[in-house]
Amino acid sequence: MRVLVTGGAGFIGSHVVDALIAQGHEVVVVDDLSSGKEENLSPACRFYRLDICSPDLERIFREEKIEFVNHHAAQIDVRRSVASPEEDARVNIQGLLNLLANCLRFGVRGVVFASSGGVVYGEPDELPVKETHPKGPLSPYGVSKLAAEYYLFYFARVHGLPYVALRYGNVYGPRQDPHGEAGVVAIFGRKMLRGETPTIYGNGEQLRDYVYIEDVVRANILATEKLLNKAGLAFAGSIDDFAYNIGTGRGTSVNELFQLLKRATGYEGAAVHRPERAGELRRIYLDAEKAARELGWQPQVGLEEGLLRTVEYLREGAVEGRKI
């Protein structure tokens, strides 16, 4: 099948590209390289350096005969979204609408959308948080991710375009960008390998759900299969019916993460503490029971193992002299 992966030069998208190619699909990538890197791109994909908001997207759909879309391109930086909600909405909402118009025009069979369980719920009342928990995004980025789910819902219900939204926890692993939601792993890991002191904001007891990239990629493959089989897609009454939390169900504090990374990197120093940053959630971790039941997805790589693999990747970068 001919699959378009938007954001395929980025952290998560590039791993999804690799997995789709390994499954025998033909993959086309659209990415403007604003945060993605050409070196992440599989040599087996066809790459277009393009903004997803561009009218040229139509030509790519037509010429490449796109049949399925995996949408990972986004403005992903929470603080940038606060500084410029307009730019966040331009990419995350207008870009999505451009993409969806083309999906309809060219009869695309389904869309997998990268949403965020870390931001659409806001500060949850109950943990681990289920898909049906009330939504209360606390940043423009969270608003745009949630709005994107509503647009997808509308396109599905009114125009018959099938989709699945995967609400990721904090995704970490090789190729990860320090600006993303699990940026702390890349930032701490890099600093500790260089012998520099990492900074912990607040008391370090903030809880997050760290999910390893390989598990996230498998969720994308399972969601693709579900859309192609069209199994269980008929009775959807709200965005939550189309959404799956992708997380471990376990909250890990920044302090705990720091200790685990100390072990993985061999760093022996302490961390510096700075005042807590405004607008940061206190605790969030995700109940992924629905993904287990309906997609057959469960996380398989534990945090310790995943961190070891990530540090190994960062260490190799150091040895080869690439910027880490």
Residues of the shown chain interacting with ligand NAD in the complex, contacts defined by CB under 6 A: 7, 9-13, 30-36, 51-53, 72-76, 91, 95, 114, 116, 118, 168, 170-171, 177, 180-182
**Smallest separation, CB 235 to ligand NAD (Å):** 26
* H-run or E-run covering 69: strand 68-71
Nearer to ligand NAD, 36 or 249 (CB): 36
**Smallest separation, CB 119 to ligand NAD (Å):** 7
Longest dimension (CA), the chain: 57
Residues with catalytic annotation? 141
Nearer to ligand NAD, 12 or 271 (CB): 12
**Smallest separation, CB 144 to ligand NAD (Å):** 9
Residue type, 22: A
- Going by C-beta distance under 8 Å and a sequence separation of 6 or more, which residues neighbour residue 164? 110, 111, 112, 113, 223, 226, 227, 242, 243, 244
CB-CB contact of 275 with 201 (8 Å): yes
Nearer to ligand NAD, 91 or 227 (CB): 91
Secondary-structure percent of the chain, ordered helix, strand, coil, rounded to 5 = 45, 15, 40
**Smallest separation, CB 113 to ligand NAD (Å):** 8
Nearer to ligand NAD, 69 or 114 (CB): 114
Distance CA 324, CA 308 (A): 16
CB-CB contact of 117 with 168 (8 Å): yes
**Smallest separation, CB 176 to ligand NAD (Å):** 7
Nearer to ligand NAD, 38 or 229 (CB): 38
- Going by C-beta distance under 8 Å and a sequence separation of 6 or more, which residues neighbour residue 213? 11, 12, 15, 171, 172, 173, 174, 175, 176, 306
Q: How far is CA 49 from CA 33, 41, 56, 90, in A?
A: 7, 12, 11, 18
